[in-house]
């Protein structure tokens, strides 16, 4: 069956030009496989949302192709493989629809001409709503939910649709920390099921915590691949130019007497922290002890301690 | 009692009432989409843009609906084209295009006034509607009701989340054109009842009223359609006694119903929102803070009541 074949997403030399004549994206190429959570990272105006739309098939590239498991995007859309979780600001929350209505919209592609729900559609809606913990609130009008609940409704819609490539546009904007963790846990489950989860974000710091792959964008695809390979100081400078602010501990008042006991606070976004050699530092040591000892070993080999 | 039945003794009144009701129903149905898609201004624009088409149809001896429909779609196309090709803002584009079309229509009618009654186009003439025009209205109404009946879920998704519609492979471009065509066609039909100037009301007010009354799209469509039909029927009926313009009667009645909903709607009405605000701020009870009965003690409560609800 087609459902068991592994999913992949491939862009080849995609160039997008808007009717105004402006080229938002030039020669963008990438290849991603199922079973991954991948971040699309770039500043505003980097062509990130243009690439996003081209990958979803919302706009046709002037040149180049996008293929899903070797097929045209249009075919993947018809099969219901392409699921989309919109940004909170894009949704009209006062629209007269209930939570269950929204999730049912994920099923429209599979329904008959009149879009009359059958038992299978209702079962899919119930299953996905239960999975995100929103079944009890199914009768609520969507505007009567909290930020995190709203996000979960649209994730449930992607699940009910049976999406194999799920794109989330800025999923953590306006969502509290607890909900962010719950969503990340859910995304990890989707990855284990072999789906391809794409997250568009401008929040660098959250990426190493839950994305195993990254696509860096600035007018084209600068780099793509495993997060720790792509997130190098050189790549980040190319992607962000002067848009990043750095706090370099080496040049700061932080000194040996502080030991490693430093607390970093930010008002909104997670900070992205790089070690001395430019490698990624993670928020929690638990679960990454091997990485720490490996780096320690490597550092000792490279720089024998002074006598 | 007998006096109330007088309008039913005249054929032209009976015709006016039921034709108005049919038009009201189909406009009401469409108004659900118009209000949610944010197309209120566009509805107004289309109703004015059909006028040159009516004039042209009269010159060429074609059914007025065909000409009106054609210029309505032409105007919609012109707006889409200008919006795509220039940075001019959408409301300005709509404003420029529909007033231009309307002006050209007025000019055409004034140049060759013989065939067309300007007053009938601008203000409507449901009391004197010709049998051929009734047929046109019925064809438009049945076709629109049928198409919406078949495709309302797709159109709802198109209004609510066009990107999702695209993502699951629905023909979004065709749905857009379908909704525009339905709007143009109903604008033409409604012109008969209330005139070009008031068509926008028929295409907006019932939807806005129904929106205040329910949180479900399907129910909203049913309600707005019933409100449109009811107000049009009752408005035409009342115009007999008031001896006033039918269009004015229908739209005034719609506005009154909207006002009632605005105040008394169970959840979104002004009274209901004031009530929920009171429940949300129970500490506003006077004297609850310090137990003193001096007039100043009510000030903190008064101040917090003035806070915005969210």
Per-residue confidence (pLDDT) for residue A306, from 0 to 100: 56
CATH architecture for segment(s) B3-265: Orthogonal Bundle (1.10)
Q: Which of helix, strand or coil describes residue A172?
A: coil
> How sure is the predictor about B31, in pLDDT bands with cuts at 50, 70 and 90?
very high
Instruction: Kindly identify which residue of chain B lies nearest to residue A21, measuring between CA atoms.
Output: B85
Interface mutation target, options B170, B215, B280, chain A, most CBs of A under 10 Å: B215
For residue B273, pLDDT beyond 50: yes
Residue of B169, B157, B164 whose CA lies nearest to A85:
B164
B161-175 pLDDT tens trace: 999 999 999 999 999
> How sure is the predictor about B66, in pLDDT bands with cuts at 50, 70 and 90?
confident
Higher pLDDT among residues B292 and B153, named by residue: B153
- Are the beta carbons of B72 and B50 closer than 8 angstroms? yes
Of A77, A96, A101, the CB nearest to B167: A77
- Are the beta carbons of B79 and B97 closer than 8 angstroms? yes
Higher pLDDT among residues A304 and B111, named by residue: B111
- When mean pLDDT is compared across A166-175, A207-216, B17-26, the lowest value belongs to A166-175
Q: What number is the average pLDDT over the span B228-239?
A: 95
- Are the beta carbons of A221 and A29 closer than 8 angstroms? yes
CA pair distance B133, B139, nearest whole angstrom: 10
For residue B147, pLDDT beyond 90: yes
**Partners of residue B214 in chain A, C-beta under 8 Å:** 96
Mean pLDDT across chain B: 86
A36-81 pLDDT tens trace: 999 999 888 888 889 999 999 988 899 999 999 999 999 999 989 9
Q: Where are the domains of chain B?
A: 3-265
Strands A196-201 and A36-41 come out as parallel
CA pair distance B251, B204, nearest whole angstrom: 11
Per-residue confidence (pLDDT) for residue B114, from 0 to 100: 61
DSSP assignment string, A219-285? SSEEEEEEHHHH--HHHHHHHHGGG-----GGGSS--GGGTT------SSSPPPEE-TTS-EE-S--
- Rg for chain B (alpha carbons), in Å? 23
Q: Is A114 exposed, middle or buried (0-12, 13-18, 19+ CB in 10 A)?
A: exposed
Per-residue confidence (pLDDT) for residue A292, from 0 to 100: 83
CA pair distance B109, B120, nearest whole angstrom: 12
The answer to whether A145 faces chain B, any CB pair under 8 Å, is no
- Is 0.80 surpassed by the pTM of this model? yes
Question: Are residues A96 and B161, on separate chains, in Cβ contact within 8 Å?
Answer: no
Q: What is the DSSP letter of B186?
A: H
Those residues whose C-beta lies under 8 Å from the C-beta of residue A64, and which sit 6 or more positions away, are: A11, A12, A13, A14, A15, A27, A28, A29
Of A91, A95, A114, the CB nearest to B36: A95
The percentage of residues in chain A with a pLDDT greater than 70, rounded to a whole number, is: 96
For residue B116, pLDDT beyond 90: no
Give Cα B248 to chain centroid, integer Å: 14
Instruction: Kindly identify which residue of chain B lies nearest to residue A99, measuring between CA atoms.
Output: B216
Residue of B266, B236, B195, B211 whose CA lies nearest to B28:
B211
* Selection from A69-73, A233-237, B124-128 with the highest mean pLDDT: A69-73
CA pair distance B51, A166, nearest whole angstrom: 47
Q: What number is the average pLDDT over the span A216-240?
A: 89
CA pair distance B71, A182, nearest whole angstrom: 53
**Partners of residue A9 in chain B, C-beta under 8 Å:** none
For residue B310, pLDDT beyond 50: no
- Rg for chain A (alpha carbons), in Å? 21
CA distance A184 to chain B (A): 22
For residue A119, pLDDT beyond 50: yes
DSSP assignment string, B82-126? HHHHS---HHHHHHHHHHHHHHHHHHHHHHS-SS--HHHHHH--G
């Amino acid at each position: 069956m087609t459902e068991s074949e592994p999913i992949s997403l491939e862009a080849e030399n995609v160039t997008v030009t808007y009717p105004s004549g402006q080229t938002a994206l030039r020669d963008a190429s990438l290849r991603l496989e199922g079973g991954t959570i991948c971040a699309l990272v770039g500043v505003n105006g980097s062509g990130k949302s243009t690439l996003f739309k081209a990958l979803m098939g919302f706009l046709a590239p002037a040149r180049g192709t996008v293929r899903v498991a070797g097929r045209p995007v249009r075919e993947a859309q018809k099969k219901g493989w392409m699921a989309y979780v919109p940004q909170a600001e894009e949704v009209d929350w006062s629209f007269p629809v209930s939570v269950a209505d929204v999730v049912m919209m994920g099923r429209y592609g599979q329904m008959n001409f009149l879009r009359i729900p059958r038992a299978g559609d209702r079962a899919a809606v119930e299953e996905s709503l239960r999975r995100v913990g929103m079944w009890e609130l199914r009768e609520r009008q969507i505007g009567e939910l909290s930020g995190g609940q709203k996000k979960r409704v649209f994730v449930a819609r992607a699940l009910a649709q049976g999406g194999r490539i799920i794109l989330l546009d800025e999923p953590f904007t306006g969502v509290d920390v607890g909900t962010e963790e719950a969503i990340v846990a859910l995304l990890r489950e989707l990855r284990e099921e072999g789906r391809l989860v794409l997250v568009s974000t401008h929040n660098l710091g959250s990426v190493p915590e839950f994305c195993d792959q990254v696509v860096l964008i600035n007018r084209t695809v600068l780099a793509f691949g495993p997060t720790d390979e792509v997130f190098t100081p050189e790549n980040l400078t190319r992607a962000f130019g002067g848009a990043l602010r750095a706090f370099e501990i080496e040049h700061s008042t932080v000194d040996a007497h502080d030991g490693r006991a430093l607390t970093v606070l930010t008002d909104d976004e997670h900070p992205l922290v790089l070690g001395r050699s430019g490698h990624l530092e993670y928020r929690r040591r638990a679960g990454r002890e091997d990485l720490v000892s490996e780096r320690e070993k490597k550092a000792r080999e490279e720089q024998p301690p002074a006598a | 009692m007998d006096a109330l039945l007088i309008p039913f003794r005249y054929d032209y009144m009976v015709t006016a009432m039921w034709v108005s009701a049919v038009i009201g129903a189909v406009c009401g149905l469409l108004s659900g989409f118009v209000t949610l898609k944010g197309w209120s201004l566009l509805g107004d624009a289309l109703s004015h843009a059909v006028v040159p088409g009516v004039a042209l149809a009269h010159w060429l001896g074609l059914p007025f609906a065909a000409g009106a429909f054609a210029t309505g779609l032409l105007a919609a196309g012109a707006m889409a084209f200008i919006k795509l090709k220039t940075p001019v803002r959408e409301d300005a584009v709509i404003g420029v295009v529909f007033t231009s079309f309307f002006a050209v229509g007025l000019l055409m009618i004034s140049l060759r006034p013989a065939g067309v009654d300007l007053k009938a186009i601008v203000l409507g003439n449901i009391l004197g509607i010709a049998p051929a025009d009734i047929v046109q209205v019925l064809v438009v109404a049945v076709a629109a009701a049928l198409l919406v009946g078949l495709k309302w879920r797709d159109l709802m998704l198109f209004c609510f989340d066009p990107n999702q519609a695209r993502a699951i492979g629905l023909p979004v471009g065709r749905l857009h054109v379908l909704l525009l065509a339905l709007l143009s066609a109903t604008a033409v039909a409604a012109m008969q009842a209330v005139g070009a100037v008031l068509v926008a009301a028929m295409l907006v007010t019932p939807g806005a009223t129904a929106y205040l009354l329910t949180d479900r799209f399907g129910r909203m469509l049913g309600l707005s359609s019933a409100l449109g039909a009811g107000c049009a029927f009752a408005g035409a009926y009342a115009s007999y006694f008031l001896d006033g313009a039918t269009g004015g009667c229908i739209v005034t009645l719609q506005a009154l119903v909207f006002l009632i909903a605005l105040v008394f709607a169970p959840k979104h009405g002004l009274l209901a929102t004031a009530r929920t605000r009171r429940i949300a701020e129970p500490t506003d009870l006077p004297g609850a803070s310090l137990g003193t009965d001096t007039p100043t003690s009510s000030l903190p409560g008064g101040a917090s009541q003035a806070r915005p609800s969210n």
